[in-house]
Structure 1
Amino acid sequence: MATLVEPTVSQDSFRRFSLDEYHWLIEHGFFQDNERVELIGGLLHQMSPEGPRHVAAIDRLLHLFFSRVGDRALVRVQHPILLPESNSEPEPDLVLAKRREDFYGSAHPVATDIILVVEVAASSLLEDRQLKVPVYAAAGIAEYWIVNLVEDQIEVYQEPTIPAKGAPYYHQHLRFSAQDRVHPANFPDWVIPVEAVLPPRSE
């Protein structure tokens, strides 16, 4: 989950970083230990603080996925994924990745390693829709979920499409409310009640 700080001038005037430059900054301690940033389209984005419902939604998904996954995939939480197609290295809230013996110890997962990306969104909902959708579609991420805590829904994006003109997008976009059930496209037997993912609201 990331919060985009709206610039007062065109983004074209900002200094864009390559992935190599971003990795150099990390390796040389440019960021503070408690500072969470991600690279999106060559720009550094500060990740917003996590409220209790955001954390609870991640934990609920983890519980549901771990109870089903077995040896079929790896469940990764808030770890980087490498998307050179869009000069990006986001850190999604949750990723289902293909199993690898080294657990990606030699390199972060790339799009072809990824089964599903999940972002949990409250204050970041606009950014997770408008910023992340074209980034993930451009990389060819097959499936992207937004756990929408504003409207208590899960938004499912499938069939990434790169048009001749305009931004990449997902051809299929479905919304599931609390009474519905969802499953990852690759795992149709993982039927998950949406209400089991959505934390209750405080009174």
Structure 2
Amino acid sequence: MTPVRKRFTVEEFHRMAQAGLLGEDDRVELLEGEVWEMSPIGSRHAAAVRRLRRLFTPLEMEGVCLIAVQDPVRLSPFSEPQPDLALLQPRPNLYQEAHPGSEDILLLVDVAEASLAYDLEVKAPLYARHGVLEFWVLDLEGKRLHVFRSPSPEGYQEVQVLVPGAHIAPLAFPSFLLRVAELPG
């Protein structure tokens, strides 16, 4: 028999955690059936995520979205990444029955302190294949915002790299204009 690669399902991934094979504090996510170890969260990264949370809080207070911070999103039976920040369709039950799927996602944001290549080369194509409408990568080192829109199976059709003088609004909230310089970094 020829060896084949074993892809884990989300359910198997969860059972590995329940069995103690993955610790509660392990920073891992499941992408296309493979378990990926994520970079540790440094203080600069954590502060950036908190600042992003604060910037988007007015939208949540208006009731037009829910904000999830470093929570899983279920893209398929084989992929359950944990973006740093997600703006989600509001639901009264706060997704108690199941993690949000791509149809629930208004915007995903990852903060890259040590993970820029991973976010751009692994996560962006994954999100595009699964129809996530908009994905941002905040590059702390380069002080840039990578914006991905118009997903397709081949990747995002619209990609921009914005610098501190630029402005951006999430597609879902076109009147919510942010200055890139306001974004943490």
Question: Fold match, TM over 0.5?
Answer: yes
Deviating beyond 4 angstroms after TM superposition, the runs of 4 or more aligned structure 1 residues are none
> Which stretches in structure 1 are left out of the alignment for 5+ residues?
1-11, 163-167
The Cα of 1:83 is off from its aligned counterpart by: 0.9
| Structure 1 residues 93-137: Cα deviation after superposition (integer angstroms, max 9, x where no partner) | 000000111100100000001101111012110010110111101
Match of 1:6 in 2: none
The Cα of 1:188 is off from its aligned counterpart by: 0.9
Match of 2:24 in 1: 33
Question: 1:178·1:198 contact (CA, 8 Å) conserved in 2?
Answer: no
Query: Which structure 2 residues correspond to residues 82-93 of structure 1 after superposition, within 5 A?
Result: 82-84=74-76, 87-93=78-84
* SS of equivalent residue, structure 2 residue 58: helix
Percent of residue pairs bearing the same amino acid type: 35
Match of 2:65 in 1: 73
Find out whether 1:98 has 2:84 as its counterpart: no
CA distance in 2, matches of 1:67, 1:161: 30
Match of 2:50 in 1: 59
Match of 1:179 in 2: 165
Q: 1:53 to 1:13 in 2, by over 3 A?
A: farther
The Cα of 1:29 is off from its aligned counterpart by: 2.8
The Cα of 1:176 is off from its aligned counterpart by: 1.0
Match of 2:108 in 1: 117
Give the paired residue count. Answer: 182
Question: Normalization by structure 1: what TM-score?
Answer: 0.85
Match of 2:130 in 1: 139
Residue identity matched to 1:149: L
Match of 1:160 in 2: 151
CA RMSD after TM alignment: 1.5
> Which stretches in structure 2 are left out of the alignment for 5+ residues?
none
1:192 to 157, 178, 182: 178
Question: Normalization by structure 2: what TM-score?
Answer: 0.93
